[in-house]
Structure 1
């Protein structure tokens, strides 16, 4: 006897929850290559960290982790693609402060909710920003910069309106009680060129973008402690600028509704891949130390930063639209 149409429909309605329960009970492994969408172009910090994570995860997963660069709109294009993908564990995104927290804070046109539309998997790295000026210029320390900003005109570049670089400049202004002027650029490279030519005074940018340029002086890093690779550069916390402590975080997320078993497997593969001596050394090159965040910790980090940067953007009047 064949099942009735009503029976088939009822079975279909129950199939997804049942599959998720079965996956949670039996564990989960990918059945085909995992697609890791990096929502920025190749070669930058986001891309390099994505490739580091992908290589580290492959031995545990037993399949390839394929990088798919989908740059554009500050990371929103690639992030939206993953938000709309099937939550089966085979399509994930390199979630990050730009596309998950700052972008939604400064734009009304982000096509996803950074919390509700994703399943946090795990943190790859928390990378510091650095406050930099010309190495041969008159500004030698962060107190020097603040003193000059209080008595004269100081102009800092950023990597663009509404970027992490921009909002951190606003944090510096508020923390120090100054008004450093803002000059937006298309990325850190042209801003560095103008620092060296004397057109602007400085920049706040991710350490991997500026830390190895001998013609720049790092006045401070924005992490709570000094970076291992740059032990002579103080933390902003050492100057009492607690509200300026902020990292550029990068991790992995999947679409909302991903089964816990799939997210747990991906998290464990990421954690194991980043625990090797080679991976730890590479992370130090980015200014990042080891991390032991659980999936829940990473979710809390994202939620807290979404709220934080929304507040900063609102109070500073920053809008990228």
Structure 2
């Protein structure tokens, strides 16, 4: 191919040189701007109505938001959520592996566990756990129908322990299905390739299955943790004064300030959920490495890109 052919301009430029000098402008979408403007107007009216409505009693919000009983309730909620999530995750891994086992007895027991604890309403499970000492005053470890080596009195369990056990047992049933689904999402051909290479089961799980399964497990389990934050409010049934319990007691003592107290409780739950969602975003972003061409931008990167693009548009308009 000659050099003249390589440097030949496109046919459109040969026929219409004026067309080649025109600036390419993006297509106008008026309906998008109209809908965006309408949404901004509605949002502005909603936010203005919230902060200007005197029935919300915002002047009382700050005093109740940092009240000692509320802060103590937040600490108890964080303890319950953290311990229940850890206990539920560890037990859920065991139950999930049992569900995937080829042993019919182990698989059947794991299936029965998931079926039982997913069928029980959480308030009922909390009440049963709270009254567990009535049926079994003590639990021990030893030889069946023989001597007992270690024993614990169930009546000595604190409300925190009872709440963590009940929530953890319930959480493990859902976590087991999330983990099982993530493991099953891995392409079977990769397991076959690992078997052909002679990799052990433990190494297959650690190096091949888990890195890919976690991409499916993390979003679903993050959703479970958000549900656990809200479900932790039910520990009030076992006389544990968490955030919900503190709000309930506070509004019963100050019925004239019911609305701001409820707003305080809702705000704290929104903060906890937002913090958990932020952690989930970065964990998902970490495990997305290698599966996408470019990692999703963080909120800071999005704001920086928006600022740079806006500044670039202003500069281009100024020079136009």
TM-score category, normalised to shorter length: under 0.3
Structure with greater contact order relative to length (CA < 8 Å, sep ≥ 6) = 1
Please state which structure has a larger fraction of its residues in strand: 1
Normalization by structure 2: what TM-score?
0.20
TM-score, normalised via structure 1 length: 0.20
Higher helix share: 2
Larger radius of gyration: 2
